[in-house]
Amino acid sequence: MRGRYDAPRPFVLGGPLTPAVKTLLIANVAVWLFQIVAGFLAHVRVDRLFGLVPYDVTHNLFLWQLVTYMFLHGDLFHIGLNMLALWMFGTELESLWGTRRFTRFYFITGAGAAVCTVLASWNSFVPTIGASGAIYGLLAAYGILFPERTLLLYFVIPIKAKYFVLILGLLTFWSSVTASGGGVAHVAHLGGMVFGWLYLRGGGGTGKGLRFPSIRDWSERRRQERLKKKFKVYYRDTRGRDEPEG
* CA-to-CA separations, 241 to 106, 232, 237, in angstroms, rounded: 55, 15, 7
Could you list the beta-strand ranges (E) of 119-230. 150-153, 157-160
| CA 57 – CA 66 distance, rounded (Å) | 8
186 catalytic residue (yes or no) = no
Average pLDDT over the chain reads: 79
What does the angle CA 197 – CA 203 – CA 204 come to, to the nearest 5 degrees? 75
Which pLDDT score is estimated for 1? 40
Single pTM value for the model: 0.74
16-41 pLDDT tens trace: 899 999 999 999 999 999 999 988 87
Q: Fold for domain 19-241?
A: Rhomboid-like fold (1.20.1540)
Of these residues, 73, 124, 176, 189, which one is catalytic? 189
pLDDT band at 81 (very low <50, low <70, confident <90, very high): confident
pLDDT(211) > 50: no
214 catalytic residue (yes or no) = no
Which pLDDT score is estimated for 175? 65
234-244 pLDDT tens trace: 556 565 555 55
Helices (H), 131-213: 132-145, 161-178, 184-201
187 against 69, higher pLDDT: 69
Of these residues, 73, 132, 176, 186, which one is catalytic? 132
Other residues' Cβ atoms within 10 Å of the Cβ of residue 228: 10
